A and B are shown apart, each in its own frame.
Chain A
Amino acid sequence: MAEVANTPRGKGVLLCIQCGRCSSSCPVARLTEEHNPRRLMEMVIMGFKKEVLPHQLPWYCLSCFTCLDRCPQGGDVGEVMFAIRNLAVRQGNVPAGVAGQAKALYETTRVINPVRSVLDKRESLGFSKISNEGLEEVQKILKKTGMEKIVSST
Chain B
Amino acid sequence: MKYAFFLGCLIPARELSYEVSVRKVMPELGVELVDMKGANCCAPFSIQSVDYSSWMALAARDLAIAEEMGMDVMTLCNDCYESLLMVNNILKRNGELRNKVNELLSEVGKEFKGKITVKNLVDVLYGDVGLSKVKKAIKEPINGIRVGAQPGCHLTKPKRIHFEILRGFSELDSLVQATGVESVPYERKEMCCGGPLRDINDDMARQISRQKLSALKEAEVQAIVTVCPFCFLQLDLGQLEIKRHFNEEYNLPVIHFIELLRLGMGMKLEDWEIKAHRIPITELLKDRL
Contact = CB atoms under 8 A, between A and B. Distances in A.
Contacts of A68: 157-158, 160
B157 A131 contact: no
Interface stretch (A15-23, A45-53, A136-144): A136-144
Contacts of A64: 153, 157, 191-192, 196
Contacts of A66: 153, 157, 190-192
Given A32-B204, A138-B61, A144-B104, A98 B50 contact: yes
A62 B245 CA distance: 21
B37 interface: yes
A109 B59 CA distance: 12
B49 A82 contact: yes
B16 interface: yes
Nearest to A142: B54
A140 B48 contact: no
A131 B105 CA distance: 20
Contact of A146 (B39, B51, B58): B51
Interface of A: 7-9, 27-28, 31-32, 56, 59-60, 62-66, 68-69, 78, 82-83, 85-86, 89, 94-98, 100-102, 105, 109-115, 118, 121-122, 125, 127-128, 130-131, 133-134, 136-138, 140-142, 144-147, 150
Name the prevailing secondary structure of the B interface residues. helix
Interface in B157-176: 157-160
B54 A131 contact: no
A147 to B, nearest CB: 4
15 contacts: A65-B157, A66-B157, A66-B191, A69-B157, A86-B50, A89-B51, A101-B44, A112-B9, A121-B272, A131-B38, A137-B108, A142-B58, A144-B104, A145-B51, A145-B104
B20 to A, nearest CB: 7
Nearest to A110: B9
Given A63-B196, A112-B13, A118-B16, 7 more contacts: A27-B211, A59-B49, A69-B157, A82-B45, A138-B58, A140-B108, A147-B51
Contacts of B104: 141, 144-145
A138 B52 CA distance: 15
Interface of B: 9-10, 12-14, 16, 19-20, 23, 35, 37-41, 43-54, 57-58, 61, 97, 104-105, 107-108, 110, 153-154, 157-160, 190-192, 194, 196-201, 204, 207-208, 211, 272
B194 A62 contact: yes
A113 B12 CA distance: 8
Contact of B10 (A78, A98, A112, A138): A112
Contacts of B48: 82
B54 A137 contact: no
Contacts of A121: 16, 272
Contacts of B108: 136-137, 140-141
Contacts of A102: 46-47, 50
A136 B38 CA distance: 10
A69 B159 contact: yes
Contacts of B39: 134
A8 to B, nearest CB: 6
A64 B156 CA distance: 10
A28 B38 contact: no
B242 to A, nearest CB: 14
Given A65-B154, A118-B12, A105 B41 contact: yes
B153 to A, nearest CB: 4
A109 B40 CA distance: 5
B20 A125 contact: yes
A145 B53 contact: yes
Contacts of B159: 69
Nearest to A59: B200
A28 B199 CA distance: 15
Given A63-B196, A122-B16, A111 B44 contact: yes
A100 B159 CA distance: 31
Contacts of B208: 27-28, 31, 62
